C-alpha cells in the first residue's frame, strides 16, 4: 500500500492507502473523492479524471503518453504543466506521499 493524498476541489484532504498497481483514478473513485468523474472507466477516452500532481514524488512519474497528452487538450479546467489523467498513473511504492489535487470542474 502507498499513501496518496487527494485534495478535493473545495480543499478537503483525503489520505488514502492505495493498493500498488491501482491507478489514481481507481483509488479516487473507490474512496469517493470529490472532483473526479471517470466517465470512460479508465480507458484514456474522456479526460474526466484530470488532476494536478504535486510534490517531489511527481517527478518520479513516467512521462505522459501521446494519447494522454491528446486527451489533456480536452480538459474542462485549466491545463497546467502538472496536469495528468488519473487513469494513466499506476501507483507504486515510489509514489509514497504523492499529492493529487482535483480541479474545480471535469466536464
What does the DSSP assignment read for the chain?
A: -EEEEEE-TTS-EEEEEEPTT-BHHHHHHHTT-TT---TTSSSSSS-TTEEEEESGGGGGSPPPPHHHHHHHTT-SSPP-TTEEEGGG-B--GGGTT-EEEPPS---
Element containing residue 25 per DSSP (H, E): helix 24-30
pLDDT string in tens for the chain (107-residue length):
999 999 999 999 999 999 999 999 999 999 999 999 999 999 999 999 999 999 888 999 999 999 999 999 999 999 999 999 999 999 999 999 999 999 999 98
Q: What is the largest CA-CA distance in the chain?
A: 32
User: What global pTM score does this model have?
Assistant: 0.95
Residue 87 pLDDT: 98
Q: Kindly give, in sequence order, each residue whose CB lies less than 8 Å from that of residue 7, ignoring residues fewer than 6 positions away.
A: 13, 14, 99, 100, 101, 102
Whether the CB-CB separation of 91 and 18 falls below 8 Å is answered with yes
Q: All domains of the chain, ordered by start, with CATH?
A: 2-101 (3.10.20.30)
Amino acid at each position: 500500500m502507498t499513501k496518496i493524498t487527494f485534495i478535493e476541489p473545495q480543499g478537503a484532504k483525503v489520505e488514502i492507502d492505495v493498493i500498488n498497481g491501482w491507478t489514481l483514478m481507481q483509488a479516487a473513485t473507490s474512496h469517493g473523492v470529490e472532483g473526479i468523474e471517470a466517465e470512460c472507466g479508465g480507458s484514456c477516452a474522456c479526460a474526466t479524471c484530470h488532476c494536478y500532481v504535486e510534490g517531489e514524488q511527481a517527478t518520479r512519474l513516467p512521462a505522459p503518453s501521446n494519447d494522454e497528452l491528446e486527451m489533456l487538450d480536452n480538459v474542462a479546467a485549466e491545463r497546467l504543466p502538472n496536469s495528468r489523467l488519473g487513469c494513466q498513473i499506476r501507483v507504486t511504492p515510489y509514489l509514497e506521499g504523492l499529492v493529487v489535487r482535483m480541479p474545480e470542474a471535469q466536464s
